[in-house]
Chains A and B, each alone.
Chain A
C-alpha cells in the first residue's frame, strides 16, 4: 500500500491532487487513490479502452442504462449519464465510441453512493454512447445512440 502510494505521488497531477487532498485532510495517509488511467484515456477504440480499464468484454445488461437525449442540438454539450439497479456498483464510466478517445470519464463510487451519475460531454458526431458498470467485481454494459446535429467543434 505504502509503496503504491509513493509511486502515485511521483507522477504528475495525481500527485498534485493527492497532496491537496492529504493537506486538506480529505484522505488519510496510506489511502491512495488510483492514478489517472492514462492508458484508458489514450485508447482510441472501444476494445482498447475496455482493456485498459480491466473490463475485458463486458456482458450487456438490461439493468444498466445510458441516460441522454435521442438527438443533441449541439455536440459541444451532450447530457449523458449512467444509472444501474445492479448491486454493489463500485465504478461507472461513460464511453463515446466515435470520439477520438472513447473514454469520457470514470467514477468510483464508495459504498452508499448510488449508481446514478450525470454529466455533459462533447461529441464530434453521431455515436453510440456506452455506460460501463462494475458490479460485484464484474463488468456490465449498455449503449444508446445519440444523434448530433452539429458537431462539438462547430460554431
Chain B
C-alpha cells in the first residue's frame, strides 16, 4: 500500500495551491539492477485529487515521471480547513489515498 503521501494545500486570494509528494519507485522497466537483470516496470498510472467531494484534478501518468513524484496545481475556491483528498493507482493495481486540510 506504500508509504503516506505528503500533501500541502494553502489558499490565498480565492485560489488554493496543492502540492503533493508521493512515495513510489516509478520504475520504467528499462533499468537494469547491479546483477544485470531488468527491473520490472512499476509506476503510478492514475491520480485523482478532490476538494471535499469535488474532483479538481485527474491525471494519467507514464513511467517517465520521476521517482517519488511531485505534483503541484491550483484551483479556484477552497477555504481553510477544507479537505484535499488524493488517490493514486499503480500498474500493479496497488492504490493509496491520503488527505490533508487546506491551511
Contacts and interface: CB of A to CB of B under 8 A. Distances in A.
A110 to B, nearest CB: 6
A57 interface: no
A33 interface: yes
A69 to B, nearest CB: 14
A117 B64 contact: no
B81 interface: no
Interface residues of B, number: 41
Contacts of A14: 46
A105 B69 CA distance: 12
Interface in B54-87: 54-62, 64-67, 69-77, 85, 87
Interface of A: 12-14, 16-17, 20-21, 24-27, 33-34, 36-37, 40-41, 76-79, 81, 96, 99-101, 103-110, 112-114, 116-123, 153
A76 B58 contact: no
Given A17-B95, A36-B45, A113 B62 contact: no
Given A17-B48, A20-B89, A26-B48, 4 more contacts: A14-B46, A26-B53, A33-B48, A37-B60
Majority secondary structure, A binding face: mixed
Nearest to A40: B60
A76 B67 contact: yes
Contacts of B48: 17, 21, 26, 33
26 contacts: A14-B46, A17-B48, A17-B87, A20-B89, A20-B97, A24-B87, A24-B97, A25-B53, A36-B46, A41-B62, A79-B70, A99-B64, A105-B60, A105-B61, A106-B59, A108-B59, A110-B57, A113-B56, A116-B73, A117-B57, A118-B73, A119-B69, A119-B70, A120-B69, A121-B65, A122-B66
Interface of B: 15, 26, 28, 30-31, 45-46, 48, 50, 53-62, 64-67, 69-77, 85, 87, 89-93, 95, 97
